[in-house]
Amino acid sequence: MSLLRRNNVKIFGHGEQPMLFGHGFGCDQNMWRYITPAFLNRYKIVLFDHVGSGSSDLIAYDREKYGTLHGYADDVLEICKYLELENIIFVGHSVGATIGMLSAIKEPGQFNKLVLIGPSPCYINDEGYIGGFDKEDIEEMLEHMEHDFVGWSNMFAPLIMGNSDRPSLGVELTNSFCSTDHEIAKHFAKVTFLSDNRKDLPKLQIQSLIMQCSEDIIVPREVGEYMLSHMKSAQMVYLNATGHCPNLSSPLETMTAIESFLA
């Protein structure tokens, strides 16, 4: 099986330094279409779909391998090695940001900078930590997904997207959720929302930008502040963008923040 086929890897742009974009749960590389045009004249753009998402090879999905986020991180590193990518700028959204962090912890020498959009090391509230959800809330959500994935998608995708004044955004995210293989998506959701990577934060040595959205029901402000205080080389930018997907809802503000960080 071709690795490039497995992850539906696409490469374009006119620069030498690679920018590798990792999408979040229920999405695919198409979610970066408003962001990449700003960088294609200066960077080599590399897009991919996590196995089980988008146009990846579903036959390659292994529940044991992808039973933790480390399985996805290994894929990222395999892509980097296969394409001989060095000095990488990794841009990750949501759980894709966490996967990027795990990749950079395993192979720090391959990465130059990380851009983390709406990241969270842990979604569950704990003593002294606000993750956004009680464990019972996550379990109830996962049970809803298990019994009625389409119904869950139609209910929650617009809430995750936010920006209710622009309902087309919520429709796009709903369609993206529903277009995935439902069994794989449910497993990915379980792995995503039950993961706890807080202990990994101090291990990250790469200069990182945390992009914190306002009115984000998935990642409250306290999560970004926690990450900033536990990472050795990180800075924060607070976006005016609302919701969890500024790469779709506020691409200009998102691009501007990335440009400033890279400069």
Identity of residue 230: H
DSSP H or E stretch at residue 54: none
Beta bridge partners of 210: 116, 236
Q: Verify whether residue 94 is a known catalytic residue.
A: yes
Q: Verify whether residue 120 is a known catalytic residue.
A: no
The 3-class secondary structure across 127-195, one letter per residue, is CCECCCECHHHHHHHHHHHHHCHHHHHHHHHHHHHCCCCCHHHHHHHHHHHHHCCHHHHHHHHHHHHHC
Give dist(CA 223, CA 33) in Å, integer: 27
DSSP H or E stretch at residue 63: none
Please tell me what DSSP assigns to residue 90.
Answer: E
Q: Are 28 and 60 in contact (CB under 8 A)?
A: no
Q: Verify whether residue 244 is a known catalytic residue.
A: yes
Q: Of 120, 244, 249, 250, which one is the catalytic site residue? A: 244
Residues 78-115, buried b or exposed e (16+ Cβ, 10 A)?
A: ebbeebebeebbbbbbbbbbbbbbbbbbeeeebbbbbb
Nearest to 108 by CA among 131, 132, 88: 88
Q: Of 28, 49, 75, 216, which one is the catalytic site residue? A: 216
Three-state SS at 219: coil
Q: Of 94, 153, 195, 249, which one is the catalytic site residue? A: 94
Active-site residues, by number, are: 94, 216, 244
